């Protein structure tokens, strides 16, 4: 199988099994500019190779079951995959918001700073599988790390548990690892949305981790 360093996990398009990129055999390296696999017909090494595909959000959840022998021993791995699923679930709504702004502005939205987007937020529907996924992820995220603690606060916010999210954000601000230059933008955005009891997916300001 070909190796793509941008995707840590993927689903094999042939057997649909969940794969960890770092554990796959490297059959060849492609240098920039990228050349599609279909153009490598001259090499026998590429005969049985497939284009890598990012898993959908449901495929990430299926991967947890496929890797039960690993995730039962490693809750952090399971939580990592659950967060990938949640972010993948949000992608289609991010893209929808982007398209809405492009139509409204009549230009490529990438040329506009997020503060100029209107609308700059979108409601993300709550399906039972994702509610369960986010609850499970929130149960395991480490609250002593600003990034993971804010991930947990964001999950709780989307789940409608605004007060609990605000309580967690109060703790985050007091962590020794909390760095205003790195974490304050996202912290402020989450706190504002929680105060407004708003579970929407929101466009983040420049420099904000999400």
Do 177 and 136 have their domain in common?
yes
Do 141 and 41 have their domain in common?
no
pLDDT band, very low/low/confident/very high, at 6 (cuts 50, 70, 90)? low
Do 46 and 69 have their domain in common?
no
| C-alpha to C-alpha distance for 68 and 85, rounded to whole angstroms | 16
Would you say residue 114 lies in a domain?
yes
Would you say residue 3 lies in a domain?
no
Strand partners, 11: 18
Would you say residue 208 lies in a domain?
no
| C-alpha to C-alpha distance for 134 and 158, rounded to whole angstroms | 9
Would you say residue 1 lies in a domain?
no
**Mean pLDDT, residues 39-47 taken together:** 60
Would you say residue 28 lies in a domain?
yes
| C-alpha to C-alpha distance for 51 and 148, rounded to whole angstroms | 32
Question: Phi-psi bin for 81: left (phi > 0), alpha (psi -120 to 50), beta?
Answer: alpha
**Mean pLDDT, residues 83-96 taken together:** 91
pLDDT band, very low/low/confident/very high, at 119 (cuts 50, 70, 90)? low
Would you say residue 193 lies in a domain?
yes
| C-alpha to C-alpha distance for 126 and 199, rounded to whole angstroms | 10
Write the pLDDT tens digit of every residue in 129-168: 999 999 999 998 888 899 999 999 999 999 999 999 999 9
Would you say residue 135 lies in a domain?
yes
- 55/1: higher pLDDT: 55
**Mean pLDDT, residues 104-111 taken together:** 61
Residue 15: the pLDDT is 75
Domain count, the chain: 2
Residue 207: the pLDDT is 45
Do 22 and 69 have their domain in common?
no
Residues of the chain with pLDDT > 90, as a percent, come to: 38
Do 22 and 78 have their domain in common?
no
Measured at the CA of 159, the angle between CA 198 and CA 126, to 5 degrees, comes to: 95
**Dihedral of alpha carbons 152, 158, 162, 166, sign:** positive
Residue 115: the pLDDT is 58
- 167/27: higher pLDDT: 167
List of E strands, the chain: 9-11, 18-20, 121-122, 201-202
Do 87 and 34 have their domain in common?
no
Do 101 and 186 have their domain in common?
yes
Nearest-CA neighbor of 124 among 206, 198, 204, 208? 198
Do 192 and 100 have their domain in common?
yes
Would you say residue 49 lies in a domain?
yes
List the domain range (segments joined by +) for residue 49.
9-54
Do 84 and 176 have their domain in common?
yes
pLDDT band, very low/low/confident/very high, at 23 (cuts 50, 70, 90)? confident
């Amino acid at each position: 199988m070909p190796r793509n360093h941008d995707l840590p996990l993927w689903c094999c398009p042939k057997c649909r099994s969940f794969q960890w990129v770092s554990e796959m055999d490297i059959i060849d390296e492609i240098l920039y500019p990228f050349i599609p696999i279909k153009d490598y017909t001259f090499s026998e090494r590429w005969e049985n190779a497939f284009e890598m595909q990012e898993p959908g959000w449901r495929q990430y959840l299926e991967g947890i079951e496929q890797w039960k022998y690993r995730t039962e021993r490693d809750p952090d791995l399971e939580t990592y995959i659950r967060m990938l699923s949640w972010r993948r679930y949000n992608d289609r709504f991010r893209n929808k918001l982007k398209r809405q702004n492009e139509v409204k502005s009549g230009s490529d939205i990438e040329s506009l700073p997020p503060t100029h987007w209107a609308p700059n937020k979108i409601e993300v529907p709550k399906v039972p599988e994702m509610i369960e996924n986010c609850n499970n992820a929130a149960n395991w995220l480490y609250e002593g790390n600003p990034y993971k603690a804010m991930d947990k606060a964001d999950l709780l916010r989307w789940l409608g548990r605004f007060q609990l999210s605000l309580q967690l954000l109060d703790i985050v601000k007091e962590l020794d690892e909390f760095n205003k230059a790195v974490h304050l933008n996202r912290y402020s955005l989450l706190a504002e949305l929680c105060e407004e009891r708003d579970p929407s997916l929101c466009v983040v300001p420049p420099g904000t981790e999400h």
